[in-house]
């Protein structure tokens, strides 16, 4: 069965360190998204991609970067982790259908703690 996986599921790091969260999907979806979930804010979009070599900033992109070298993966990098980036991170993917309806499928999430 097609799925979307995230690793690690839990991560503790220190302020200032570089951290990369992995997202891998086997749906062969062109669109991939990264969100962070915080109490009182719901899910907020960090970065997204419509295909290989395409990346776009979301509403809370400062301090994060992504790269898309293939269809299956969209790793999220925190260049220099800050305590404000302690959160739960979700990856999602959807089929290509710009201008039409679409459904995003979510991974299980990564809980990141920055000390």
Which parts of this chain interact with other proteins (CB under 8 A)?
31, 33, 35, 40-45, 48, 50, 58, 90, 92, 94, 97-109
Question: Which CB, 5 or 18, lies closer to other proteins?
Answer: 5
Least spacing, CB of residue 78 vs other proteins, in Å: 20
Least spacing, CB of residue 115 vs other proteins, in Å: 21
Least spacing, CB of residue 65 vs other proteins, in Å: 18
Residue 114: C-alpha distances to residues 45, 49, 109 (Å): 20, 26, 16
Question: Which CB, 96 or 115, lies closer to other proteins?
Answer: 96
Question: Which CB, 16 or 110, lies closer to other proteins?
Answer: 110
Question: Which CB, 67 or 104, lies closer to other proteins?
Answer: 104
């Amino acid at each position: 069965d097609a799925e979307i996986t995230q690793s690690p599921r839990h991560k503790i790091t220190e302020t200032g360190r570089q951290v990369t969260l992995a997202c891998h999907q086997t749906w062969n979806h062109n669109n991939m998204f990264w969100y962070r979930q915080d109490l009182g804010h719901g899910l907020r979009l960090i970065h997204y991609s419509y295909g290989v070599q395409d990346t776009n900033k979301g509403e809370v992109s400062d301090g994060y970067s992504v790269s898309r070298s293939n269809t299956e993966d969209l790793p999220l990098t925190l260049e220099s982790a800050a305590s404000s980036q302690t959160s739960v991170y979700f990856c999602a993917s959807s089929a290509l259908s710009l201008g039409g309806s679409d459904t995003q499928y979510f991974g299980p999430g990564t809980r990141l703690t920055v000390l």
